[in-house]
Amino acid sequence: MSKILIVDDEQGIRDFLAIMLKKEGHEAVTAASGADALKAVQAEIFDLVITDVKMPGTDGIDVLRTIKEVSPETVVIMITAFAATETAIEAMKLGAYDYIIKPFKVDELKIIINNSLEKRHLRKENILLKREIESRAGFENFIGRSEPMQKVFSLIKQVADATSTVLITGESGTGKELVAKAVYHNGARKGRPLVTVNCGALPETLLESELFGYMKGAFTGATSNKQGLFEAANGGTIFLDEISATTPGLQIKLLRVLQERSFMRVGGTAEVKVDVHVIAASNKDLLAEVAKGTFREDLYYRLNVIPIHLPPLRERREDIPHLVEFFLIKYAKKDGQRTWTKKTDPAAIKILIDYNWPGNVRELENTIERLIIMTPNEMITQEHMPDNIKNVRTEAALAPMDIPDAGVDLEKLLENAEKMFLRKALEKTGGVKTEAAKLLGLSFRSFRHRLQKYGDL
């Protein structure tokens, strides 16, 4: 549904056009004069304005000039008498989409209106597509055969058609944006707008104006009216990434949108109604943020209607070989090397599986891309592994396990365990060696000797 302003000093024309547009499914607003039209376009944003050229006082050309200054994205169609075609041509030069000569044919008018709205729709789609491309995650598809990921896939299918708010949680790099896109692409709103917003990328004032739009003069630099991203997503889905980064003031306004499905633009006085499916994501524990007083409890419960938690990569290690294979193929193709792909030997895969991956899938992808570039031959071996991965073993690698048929290097395993605990103790005490020694039940002298053995780590 589009919002259309009809401007004409003849009531019969206004009423006729309003009835016709409402039958076509649009929202029609009328103005009996150019002055009334100027007030309307300064208070509200319209998709289309149909205005007569010849009106007493403020004429259609004045209305057109103001619209192009205040709301340049609004499409304008001029209505003119046959004798005023020169004025209509002038209007085209000033930015009018088209003009209609009185008396006009209804079918012709409908075609011009539909074409003008289609043009505006395509322009909005192009803007959203550009945002989508810019915000696209570093890996295009989910790769996961592990039980935790299968549960996530199943949950996505269950909730995709729901209109309730979805809250996606998980550490950075686990693929929360991919989950949001999967919910969207599997749901009933697929094909409608999908708008992604990184709430942590902008300060509060800019984020508010981006989300809700603003009116001309609302703040320094607001030189024209602008629709916000909630309006751009109307009828579709908005993904609020890193929702925990929002300030308490903005959280109140987000809560109101979720409750009332309406808001006011910055500097505006008119209520804007929207039909938007909201998906939010956070890499922080929002309940902990609620306890600290940095996140509103009522907003948390409004968001957490359908929770989806993404497990960190260290909790689904069986997926690592499949992810490695996927990224090897992806980056070989990206570099144009279609005749071959890199391979990894089992020892290298074992090192990748044992590493803790604090940056999760994103870190793994970056590592594989780097290995493809840095490995001179086809086979990636353990010698090619980055030092930070090769020399650090995880707790999982040190846990009790069966001895494989090939055996284990016990000395190496114990050495890695010792280095890991020394490093962890230092991290936990902020580098204070006496305190780290106490944590490990060692004398300071013994602790210092072990550090020296490994080159002070």
- pLDDT tens by residue, 68-123: 988 888 999 998 876 566 777 788 889 999 988 888 888 989 999 999 998 887 77
- 183-218 pLDDT, tens per residue? 998 888 988 899 999 999 888 889 999 999 999 888
Going through 175-289 in order, the beta strands assigned E by DSSP cover: 194-198, 213-214, 226-227, 237-241, 262-264, 271-273, 277-282
At 394, the pLDDT band (50, 70, 90 cuts) reads very low
| SS3 label, residue 19 | helix
Distances (CA, A) of 436 to 215, 216, 393, 414: 58, 60, 19, 19
Which DSSP category does 313 fall into? G
Q: d(Cα 30, Cα 373) in Å, to the nearest integer?
A: 63
Q: d(Cα 304, Cα 308) in Å, to the nearest integer?
A: 9
Asked if the structure places residue 130 within a domain, the reply is no
Same domain membership, residue 235 and residue 112: no
Read off the CATH number of the domain in which 414 is found: 1.10.10.60
Same domain membership, residue 322 and residue 186: no
Nearest to 334, CA basis, from 376, 385, 381, 369: 369
Read off the CATH number of the domain in which 173 is found: 3.40.50.300
Same domain membership, residue 165 and residue 149: yes
Q: d(Cα 190, Cα 140) in Å, to the nearest integer?
A: 17
Domain's final residue, options 75, 92, 124: 124
For residue 321, give its domain range: 314-395
Asked if the structure places residue 205 within a domain, the reply is yes
Mean pLDDT for the chain overall: 86
Same domain membership, residue 422 and residue 349: no
Asked if the structure places residue 273 within a domain, the reply is yes
How many Cα atoms are found within 13 Å in the side-chain-facing hemisphere of 244? 20
Same domain membership, residue 197 and residue 303: yes
Q: What is the pTM of this model?
A: 0.66
User: Is pLDDT at 165 greater than 90 in this prediction?
Assistant: yes
Tokens 């309406």 sit on residue? 262
Read off the CATH number of the domain in which 52 is found: 3.40.50.2300
Asked if the structure places residue 129 within a domain, the reply is no
Same domain membership, residue 228 and residue 173: yes
Q: Checking DSSP bridges between strand 213-214 and strand 226-227, what pairing results, if any?
A: antiparallel
Predicted local confidence at residue 446, as pLDDT: 87
Residues near 128 by Cβ (< 8 Å), separated by ≥ 6? 193, 194, 195, 232
**CB distance 263 to 214 below 8 Å:** no
Domain count along the chain: 4
Domain's final residue, options 296, 311, 326: 311
- 258-275 pLDDT, tens per residue? 999 999 999 988 899 999
Domain's final residue, options 103, 124, 145: 124
Predicted local confidence at residue 197, as pLDDT: 94
Same domain membership, residue 207 and residue 319: no
User: Is pLDDT at 415 greater than 90 in this prediction?
Assistant: no
Asked if the structure places residue 275 within a domain, the reply is yes
Same domain membership, residue 289 and residue 412: no
Which DSSP category does 173 fall into? T
Same domain membership, residue 243 and residue 149: yes
Same domain membership, residue 106 and residue 81: yes
User: Is pLDDT at 404 greater than 80 in this prediction?
Assistant: no
Which tops the pLDDT comparison, 52 or 85?
A: 52
The β-bridge partners of 49 are: 5, 76
Read off the CATH number of the domain in which 380 is found: 1.10.8.60
Asked if the structure places residue 410 within a domain, the reply is yes
- Respond yes or no on whether the N-terminal peptide bond of residue 103 is cis (omega within 30° of 0): yes
Asked if the structure places residue 421 within a domain, the reply is yes
**CB distance 195 to 382 below 8 Å:** no
Mean pLDDT, residues 136-156 taken together? 74
**CB distance 160 to 183 below 8 Å:** yes
Asked if the structure places residue 387 within a domain, the reply is yes
User: Is pLDDT at 423 greater than 70 in this prediction?
Assistant: yes
Same domain membership, residue 150 and residue 119: no
**CB distance 23 to 69 below 8 Å:** no
User: Is pLDDT at 138 greater than 70 in this prediction?
Assistant: no
Same domain membership, residue 112 and residue 65: yes
